[in-house]
Amino acid sequence: MIPTIAAAAETLGLALRGGFHPTQDDAVPPMPDGTPTATLLLLGWTGPTHWPAFTTTPEYRDGTPDPLDRWSRRVVGALAEAFGAMPLFPFGGPDFLPFLRLAQRAEPVHPSPIGLLIHPDWGLWHNWRGALAFSTRLALPPFEPCPSPCATCATRPCTAHPDIDDARRACPIGTAYSPAQFAFHRAAFLRTHPIAPH
């Protein structure tokens, strides 16, 4: 079933970012009928791969606020309906799920010196758009841990830049977003985290 879900996610512009079987300590919400979530699969973007698919969507083109969040709700919701899962999202609080902690249970990502989670292949250029919660325990591929690439980075060029965007670009791991994708994410960040004037 996992390969089928991964293929369906790719057709919608998402990558399956791994999964795990939650315990009570993971604080994953129960299913609508009150039973515990038995399997959680995370979905997101990996590097610049999925940006072109998003730019063809109505949400990107309609000029109304929060296009990426609205698109995420639509496509993750569609996957949930197709596979009998409950959709979960890293936005729309105030009861935000601990997605960064959950991600570390699902795939080999590690905290970097600048606080962002680094992936051994995609570096600092990736994100999570949602998750699928299942009441059944799906068979998952074995989790293959690997050390953080930061552990063997001798110079840590990211730490030489006070601006987080410059720090991300300095990292030698992964492929940076295109200028258009970078500008989109930067603008979205500034709308929710305005920089105070000096």
CA distance 129 to 114: 21
196 vs 33, which has greater pLDDT?
33
Distance of CA 86 to the CA centre of its chain: 17
Beta-bridged to residue 43, according to DSSP, are: 16, 130
Confidence of residue 193 (pLDDT cuts 50, 70, 90): low
CA distance 184 to 179: 9
Determine contact, residues 142/45, Cβ cutoff 8 Å: no
Residue 188 one-letter amino acid: A
CA distance 19 to 196: 38
Domain spans in the chain, listed from the N-terminal domain onward: 2-192
92-103: per-residue pLDDT in tens?
A: 876 788 999 999
Can you give the pLDDT at residue 198? 40
Determine contact, residues 6/21, Cβ cutoff 8 Å: no
Give 150: exposed, middle or buried? Use CB within 10 Å, 0-12, 13-18, 19+: middle
43-91: per-residue pLDDT in tens?
A: 999 999 999 999 999 999 999 999 999 999 999 999 999 999 999 999 9
Give first-to-last CA distance, the chain, whole Å. Answer: 53
